[in-house]
Structure 1
Amino acid sequence: MRTYFCFLLSLFLFSGAKYAVSQEQNDPNLCVGNYYTEEEARSVLRHLKEEYKTKKEWLQRTEIIRQGILNGAGLVPFPPKTPLKPVNTNLRKYDGYSVQNVAVESLPGVFVTGSLYLPGKTEGKIAGILSTHGHWSKSDDYGRFREDAQIRCAALAKMGAAVFAYDMVGYGEMAGWGWKHNHPLALRQQLWNSVRALDFLLSLENVDPERIAITGASGGATQAFLLAAVDDRIKVSVPVVQVSAHFFGGCVCESGMPIHKSESHLTNNVEIAALAAPRPMMLVSDGDDWTKNNPEVEFPHIQYIYRLMGAEGKVENVHFPDEGHGYEFSKRKAVYPFLAKYLGLSLSAIKDANGEITEKDITVEPYKKLEVFSEASPRPGYAILTNDGVKW
């Protein structure tokens, strides 16, 4: 690895440092936003490929990357896993699925709010899916409440999965209480919330621990590939419009803590996403954001790693060159068959008489209906209402 680090040191002095010194935290170990140019990123991947030519060498690299994420996020050791104490409110039943709002305690007093989508009818064990959301912040296009997120969760529930959609730190009800998304430790809290959201999903008695997936777009994809990287209970992952060799995420929840770089290592989101190997993964990319090079740059590198792991056929890239940043119907239409294949879901449950995928029988709910707490179901008095109130 010495040759690689010498190369990266020279690259950092030339280009990376110009970005690091501009960060609010002024931490030289932060890799933020467009940390590399596109050409620099290509060069990094070429050098990385020379550093692991066998499965053994890649597995050695994975331990360095995984430990770097956990150390950088301040999650070594893991906090104690305290009782989740789920709060369930307001069950609604629709055509082929139901929705119930749920809050769980990721830490004592830290309520992670979300909604649980379940199939209308179940027999035996069912798959479980975590649905993460990105930084959509407009009042009419917001977080897990946005139309495309609701539709995706409902469709997957109709196909036979239990789907838990949960709020990012400082989004949804948490925002109204006083939580901030741009807090310096948002990445730590968010990754831990994802671990505990997975604990909740697996606590459901009919969920099959061997059929667990995670999917989200943009910042939601960052959450997806980070959790898949550090928690092998995730068996299938679908990060949408986010995996990039040159772009490291522009929010503190993605790159505001030193998960990519330390005194002894430097990685990128391509390698982090590849930690999912040999578990099935689909990369979804488009032609109008930082994933525009996926077919020629990022995907071949990840495919190479899957080949080392003997699982080349388990990774796919679906690219939409004429589309932009989002998780719209065209992208969902590509993802549903992939998840059906690896989770044993019923794709026919969302097909019309002509065999075409349809989402027409799904109800998009008003935002208020998706909130856990209300006058009828008040928030517990001991709830922590700000980021700084958390006791780690």
Structure 2
Amino acid sequence: MMSSRIRRRSVELKEIDRLYRSMLGPFPERVPTNVEFLEEEECDGFTRSLIAWDNDATERVRGYLLRPTSGSAKLPAMMAFHGHGAWESGKKSTAGVDVQEGWVALGPTLVARGFAVLCGDAICWGDRQNPAGNPDGVMYERVVAMRLLAEGRCMAAQYVWDAMRQCDVLQSLAGIDADRIGAMGVSMGSGHSWLSALVEPRISALVGVSSFYTYKALYAPPIKHCSTR
């Protein structure tokens, strides 16, 4: 009896996985990451490096890599995903470069606990804002979402792809334990963590703070994103 329920549940989970992946649509072609270290800063107990990598065949992105100045030879790693917040901040908020008063930056907090931390920009934030400048903010986010839909993809798929590529980056770096990669985020960043962990098996631990809501809350009244500065 128990074994039949387990088998039935296994079939159900496989079908859920298939449906989820089909809803995300196709991912871009995977290319070498070509990681480059651009800048390095010594901070209190850790090193913060600005690095760049190829996210796909047409987009090169930047992120902050935080590593403790002392620790084990092979560090566990966390991807820290930022919230909806200020469009210009992005990775700077999680890396501790630009933090709102009263807020706690995930990157420095995690690195103090012995993790290497990778902080990237979500699409439409930080370095990935509209290079033309106009439209910007939520209007540019809407444009990007429509473009992705025209390609048979969606914003959720882009978030997942970004996480997959960050896993590629972390696995390519010396001193990182490739078998201990986790994801953490607050608000929108929490959503990115959950969406990505459903697809990316290299995410072995997840911490999501806030973000998800009921369908009732989503549709009535309409949810207003957190304010920006």
Cα 1:151–1:131 change in 2 (3 A) is same
Deviation for aligned residue 1:101: 1.0
Deviations 1:74-113 (A, max 9, x none): 12xx443201112321200112101011221111131222
Structure 2 residue corresponding to 1:181, chosen from 141, 145, 148: 141
1:235 partner SS: strand
* Greater strand fraction, Structure 1 or Structure 2: 2
Aligned counterpart for 2:197 among listed residues 218, 223, 228:
228
| Structure 2 unmatched runs, 5+ | 94-98, 149-154
Q: Determine if the alignment matches structure 1 residue 110 to structure 2 residue 59.
A: yes
Is 2:30–2:56's contact at 8 Å kept on the other side of the alignment? Answer: yes
Q: How much identity, in percent, do the aligned residues show?
A: 22
1:244 to 177, 202, 213: 213
Q: Do the aligned partners of residues 161 and 133 (structure 1) sit closer, same or farther apart at CA in structure 2, a change above 3 Å counting? A: same
1:96 is aligned to 2:45:
yes
Go from structure 1 to structure 2 and tell me whether the alpha carbon gap of 1:247 and 1:89 turns closer, same or farther (over 3 Å shift): farther
Counterpart code for 2:45: G
Q: Which runs of 5+ in 1 are unaligned?
A: 1-52, 251-289, 291-324, 326-392
Aligned mate of 1:86, from 11, 26, 35: 35
Q: Does 2:121 correspond to 1:172?
A: no
Per-residue deviation at 1:170? Answer: 1.1
Number of the residue aligned with 2:110 = 156
Q: Describe how 1:1-392 pairs up with structure 2 within 5 A.
A: 54-75=5-26, 78-137=27-86, 142-146=89-93, 147=99, 151-178=105-132, 180-182=140-142, 183-184=144-145, 185=148, 186-246=155-215
* 1:27-46 CA-partner distances (Å, limit 9, x unpaired): xxxxxxxxxxxxxxxxxxxx
1:121-168 CA-partner distances (Å, limit 9, x unpaired): 1332110100111211266xx333232787320121122111001101
Q: CA RMSD in A?
A: 2.7
**Number of matched residues?**
197
2:170–2:178 contact (8 Å) kept in structure 1: no
2 CA distance for matches of 1:65 and 1:248?
Answer: 24
Query: After superposition, what is the alpha-carbon deviation per residue over 1:298-326, rounded to whole angstroms, capped at 9, x for unaligned?
Result: xxxxxxxxxxxxxxxxxxxxxxxxxxx8x
Name the CA distance, whole Å, in 2 between partners of 1:211 and 1:55.
Answer: 28
Higher Cα radius of gyration: 1
Residue identity opposite 1:62 in structure 2: L
Q: Please report the TM-score for the alignment, with normalisation by the length of structure 1.
A: 0.46
- Against the structure 1 CA distance between its residues 248 and 144, is the aligned structure 2 distance closer, same or farther, given a 3 Å change threshold? farther
Contact 2:87–2:125 at 8 Å: present in 1 too?
Answer: no
C-alpha distance after superposition, 1:219-252 (max 9, x if no partner): 11111001110011111001110233436979xx
